[in-house]
Amino acid sequence: MNFFYSTAVQITDYIHFYGYRPVKSFAIRIPASYTIHGIDVSRWQERIDWQRVAKMRDNGIRLQFAFIKATEGEKLVDPYFSRNWQLSRENGLLRGAYHYFSPSVAAPVQARLFLQTVDFSQGDFPAVLDVEERVMTPTY
């Protein structure tokens, strides 16, 4: 057996062992034991066909919710947020909004931008704060 094939089989076995399985039509691996599945989106996905997303099905699994990037830092409003916020709901998906936190900007300023941007409705998920570590120092 060739090395690369053997490694691929081992990785696949490892993923399946820990409860993840590939869903080819979604192009992702998902936890097999979860009863609800969703996506997170931002401007990087550009113009999303929400009608198509709402219809996505694969072997009994469907996408049921979306977390949508609303804001980042002090001034950035995702250019697709309003569209994504409206169309995700119109197409029957549960929705939530998130703010991408910038550690160099005061938290109250960021919260204000987020709350001015997002118009929550009954049934929406609570606000989410996306905090990611960015290492900006050189490694030696």
C-alpha 29/C-alpha 21 separation (Å) is 5
CA atoms within 13 A on the CB side of 102: 15
C-alpha 31/C-alpha 113 separation (Å) is 34
β-strands 61-72, 94-100 pairing:
parallel
For residue 98, which of 86, 83, 108, 110 has the smallest C-alpha distance?
Answer: 110
Residues carrying an active site annotation: 132
105 CB-near residues (< 8 Å, 6+ apart) = 73, 74
